[in-house]
Structure 1
């Protein structure tokens, strides 16, 4: 029998539960939700994925992106805290998908940081 955890490959737009430890300084820590921002083809082939952590405590920072009401995860996406992580080693578990507009907003904020 194939286990769902073994067959799941994170896809851009997924909100997943993920272990962020170890952490340092102002980085998010512990088991928390995160948004997948890299494409599934890359994630599956390499075993890494790009994630933005989610926090329940909005502080009004310019790089926060609000998660719409009605999803299984609530809070804001921290678009300026991008991490490349081994999603298998950090036990990524699918929670839900965000609307395309949320991904577009996160990507726009990332573009401001890297351009």
Structure 2
């Protein structure tokens, strides 16, 4: 079963516009109960190995099963079909990483006006 915090390889193509695509690791953000619903969807944030120097890109590393330093991109959070995911997770993000990603998502979705 896919769980919140799992890092899994996903096929995010095809894409539209500036969406992140290709076969890449993603961080699962949705909770386990949602991941078992019959609709077969999970909420994810893609991961990149490119350091763009953006403060909202959250560092994630080998503890999550990745080969080297990488960054979660919370601005690209989306729901995808579980059929896009590999069969097994690479690893699991730390609670601190999950909390920081969630904080950025909250910032992005809070009305500041």
Runs of 4+ residues deviating >3 angstroms: 68-71
Name 1:67's counterpart in structure 2. 60
Name the counterpart of 1:108. Answer: 103
Deviation at 1:25, TM superposition (A): 2.0
> Alpha-carbon deviation of 1:71?
3.8
Q: Which runs of 5+ in 2 are unaligned?
A: none
Equivalenced residues, count? 106
- Gaps spanning 5+ residues in structure 1: where? 1-8
Q: Please report how far the alpha carbon of residue 62 of structure 1 lies from its aligned counterpart in structure 2 after TM superposition.
A: 2.7
Confirm or deny: 8 A CA contact 2:27 2:46 kept in the other structure. yes
1:25 maps to 2:20? no
1:99 is matched with 94
* 33-42 or 72-81, larger mean C-alpha shift: 72-81
Q: TM-score, normalised by structure 1?
A: 0.85
Greater shift, 43-52 or 60-69, is seen at: 60-69
TM-score (norm 2): 0.86
Q: CA deviation at 1:64?
A: 0.3
Whole-angstrom distance in 2 between the partners of 1:58 and 1:25: 21
